[in-house]
A and B are shown apart, each in its own frame.
Chain A
Amino acid sequence: MTPGFVLDPDTAPGVALELLYSLKVRDVMTTKLICGKRSTTLRQLRDTMRDNDITGVPIMERDRIVGMVSMEDILRAMEEGRLDCTAEECMTRSVISLADDMPVNFAISYLEKHGFGRFPVLNRDGDLVGILTSRDILTHLLVALNRELERIEAKDREARAGSTAATANQSTAAPTGANAATGAAPEGATPGTITQSTERTRIFTTRKFDFERAGRASTEIKRILTERGVDPRTARRVAVASYELEMNQVVHSVGGTLRFSLLDDGVEILAVDRGPGIPDIEAALTEGWSTATEWIRSLGFGAGMGLTNTRRVSDEFEISSNPDGTSVRVRINLG
């Protein structure tokens, strides 16, 4: 199979990646819906597709989608002389749909994985709200990329104008180690990678919905502890806490950092994100309480166990949250 146009997070330009993660399916889908019924004939659907320049039609029963008829179905029916069949007889029934709040990078992977040219898009209530094709994604990505590049160029022009006015030897660089002290993500850091390290401290960054990289910090932390001869059960508790905190940032926050410190008699993890904060910490610490959407659950996470499980495996657990971000500090004793 060809790799298609999925970007490799290790080598892709940051601007393109940011767009793929921040743009939602609802931002790029077509909302003008042209639908058919079970009783619509393929001949009628062919005319509909031709007149509206589309390649697929969802078949509806009341307000629920029950199938899809694509251009390929029409071509096959033409070859077999079955254009007067109804949609009911020829439609694809196992329709795979997208959620409107999925990031665009997921939609791209669905297009790759399932080989369909278009996907119906449903909202949280299961209502059909749009159709997404690869053409929609490309068109919107190009527009968004263009807009982003214009913004960067404008910023660059401003910076150049500013720098000519500034004195030549003025320094605005932050002091070394400032990020380590606050746990804030260094500007331009690559998510999931070590952005700052000393012998006993590691800082990892996370990014919203970046499931490809999520978990790398925890895998690395477990490897370090295992290499240092830490008891496997303790290493596992640290890795579980770290993984839960990492996934929480990826699923619920706009991104943040995990600072991992190896102390003489324990391990401390400080997870700090940049918002939007947890409105009700008490509820978030209740097993099964979750604000994750169905598609996040389909990735294996968002069961509402993250924070309670982190607290369970930790010897010390502190949490604070406001709209600017959430901070969780855990400590696990060694030995």
Chain B
Amino acid sequence: MNYNRILELLDARLHVSCKTYETADINNFVASDLMSDVLVLEDMEFLLITSLASEQAVRTADIVGARGILLVNSKVPPAGMIDLAESLNKTLISTPKRMFVACALLGRELASEGREP
């Protein structure tokens, strides 16, 4: 699915768009508030779903090669987080929806595209 579909599904707000924002086809998501857990994964090019509104979420996304960050639970990204996402070329979006609801909606959308969540 593309970013516009994600914004629509989750009533999400776009804060930073990466260079491949328009063309990206996102089919993998990782949801965690513990960056330690994200760092042990082998996945790449996923969207990191978290409620950790800090620069460390952006740094973690950069280090593991994630596409960007989806902030859940109405978290507002602080200025430093937005600046870092811009400089590291990471998409940053936020949604008022809770982690579980956001994951359920994205999972359903992936399934409707014939992809395994």
Q: Which of A214, A233, A301, A306 has the most CB of B within 10 A?
A: A301
- Interface set, chain B 53-92, CB cutoff 8 A to A: 54-57, 59-60, 62-65, 80, 88
B36-A300 in contact (CB<8A):
yes
A243 with B63, Cβ < 8 A, contacts A300-B35, A300-B52, A301-B56 known = yes
Q: Mark A293-325, 1 if CB is under 8 A from B, else 0.
A: 000010111111110010010000000000000
B34 touches A218 (CB 8 A): no
Name B57's closest neighbour in chain A (CB-CB).
Answer: A300
How many of B's residues come within 8 Å of A, CB to CB? 22
Contacts of A214 in B (CB 8 A): 56
Q: Could you say which of B36, B37, B39, B55 has the most chain A C-beta atoms within 10 Å of its C-beta?
A: B39
What is the total of A-B residue contacts with beta carbons within 8 Å? 68
Residue in contact with A305 in the complex, picked from B39, B63, B65, CB distance below 8 Å:
B39
Given contacts A236-B44, A303-B34, contact A244 B39 (CB under 8 A): yes
A309 to B65, CA, bound (A): 16
In the complex, chain A residues whose CB is within 8 Å of the CB of B11: none
Decide: A236 and B63 in contact? CB cutoff 8 A: yes
Residues 24-44 of B, flagged 1 when their CB comes within 8 A of A and 0 if not, give 000000000111110110001
Q: Contact between A236 and B65 (Cβ–Cβ < 8 Å)?
A: yes
Asked whether, in the complex, the Cβ of A218 is within 8 Å of the Cβ of B59, the reply is yes
Instruction: Report if A163 contacts B (CB, 8 A).
Output: no
Alpha-carbon separation in the docked complex, A116 to B28 (Å): 39
Interface flags for B88-104 (1: CB within 8 Å of A; 0: not) read: 10000000000000000
The B contact surface, by secondary structure, is: helix
- Is residue A239 contacting chain B, with contact meaning CB distance below 8 A? yes
Complex partner residue of A300 from B34, B44, B80, CB under 8 angstroms: B34
- On whether the beta carbons of A243 and B60 are closer than 8 Å, the reply is yes
> Do A212 and B65 touch across chains, with their CB atoms under 8 A apart?
no
The answer to whether A302 and B36 have CB atoms under 8 Å apart is: yes
Name the CB-closest residue of B to A240. Answer: B39
Instruction: Chain B residues near A218: list those with CB within 8 A.
Output: 59, 63
Which interface residue of B40, B50, B80 has the most chain A CB atoms within 10 A? B40
- With the chains together, A300 CA to B65 CA distance in Å? 18
CA distance A161 to B116 in the complex (A): 75
Which A residues lie at the B interface, using CB under 8 A?
A: 211-212, 214-215, 218-219, 222, 232-233, 236, 239-240, 243-244, 297, 299-306, 309, 312
Q: Pull 30 A–B residue pairs with CB atoms less than 8 Å apart, ordered by A.
A: A211-B54, A211-B56, A212-B80, A215-B56, A215-B59, A219-B62, A219-B88, A222-B62, A232-B65, A236-B44, A236-B65, A239-B62, A240-B39, A243-B39, A243-B60, A297-B34, A299-B52, A299-B54, A300-B33, A300-B36, A300-B50, A300-B54, A300-B56, A300-B57, A301-B35, A301-B36, A302-B36, A303-B34, A303-B37, A312-B40
Given A219-B63, A236-B63, 7 new contacts (CB under 8 A): A211-B54, A219-B88, A222-B62, A233-B44, A236-B65, A243-B60, A312-B40
